[in-house]
Amino acid sequence: MKNMKAVVFDFDGTLVDTEAAVYHATKDYFEKNYNYPFTIKTYQYFVGRNLQWLNSYTQKHLLPHFELEPFVQYVKQWKENNYHHIPMRPGALELIKRAKQHNLKLAIATSSTRDDIDVLLEKYQLLPYFDAIATADQVKELKPHPDLYLLALERLNILSAEAFAIEDTPTGSLAALNANLTTLIVTNEITEGMQFPDSVIHKPSFANILN
């Protein structure tokens, strides 16, 4: 990515391999509490979405009697018990280090809260690499709205034409595109095969992104 000054990363599913773990936790909850066969295809509708969207979609299309608050408490407890075990995605740390060697500014734009991501930022000692972080508790609208990316760019003091985003979901890619960012996609086992906007650039891994 020549002539770029910055990279803005999504976090969950992009830098850290949360999607599969969260899918299995969600699957367990739906099957145990609602006897609902929760497939990866179903979960793909939820990927990158906020809880209000999840609640509306679930009640309308899956389970009219779904209750959001018990699920929220379940997810909160699951994160407290399991989030710190989630690994980074293969090649992600190496890309971060190469980007800094190329004197690129780095930022995170995530629909997770700062408290959530701090667990893994601290575990993998990532904080020193990043010049800006934009999280869900700092903006009014989450992805696919561009607010998180716009805030990250503002904190970097970088124009959208001078940066590119790396995402793993269609919702996240729309947010980056809506912020006028060149958008690269590195899918994971959950988001592979999902429908992305035509203008994104698909990469099979993090390996050759800066070549």
Question: In the sheet that 182-185 helps form, which strands lie side by side, from edge to edge?
Answer: 132-134, 105-109, 6-9, 163-167, 182-185, 201-202
Q: Tell me: the pLDDT tens digits for 119-156?
A: 999 999 999 999 999 999 999 999 999 999 999 999 99
**Residue 107 pairs with which residues in a beta bridge?**
8, 132
Q: Which residues contact 144 (CB under 8 A, 6 or more apart)?
A: 48, 171, 172, 174, 175, 178
Q: What is the pLDDT of residue 211?
A: 75
Per-residue pLDDT for 2 more than 90? no
- φ, ψ of residue 186 in degrees (nearest 5): -120, 100
Q: What is the pLDDT of residue 3?
A: 84
User: β-strands 163-167, 132-134: how paired?
Assistant: unpaired
- Comparing C-alpha atoms, which of 104, 155, 165 is closest to residue 132? 155
Question: Angle, nearest 10°, between helix axes 147-156 and 170-178?
Answer: 50
Q: Tell me: the pLDDT tens digits for 14-27?
A: 999 999 999 999 99
Q: Tell me: the pLDDT tens digits for 164-192?
A: 999 999 999 999 999 999 999 999 999 99
- Comparing C-alpha atoms, which of 46, 19, 38 is closest to residue 189? 19
End-to-end CA distance of the chain: 7
Q: How many beta carbons lie within 10 A of that of residue 39, not counting itself? A: 11
Q: Note the helical H segments in the chain.
A: 18-34, 40-44, 51-57, 68-82, 92-101, 114-123, 147-156, 170-178
pTM: 0.94
- Rounded (10°) CA dihedral 89, 94, 97, 103: -100
Q: What is the pLDDT of residue 82?
A: 94
Taking the C-alpha atoms of residue 47 and residue 50, their distance in angstroms, rounded to an integer, is 9
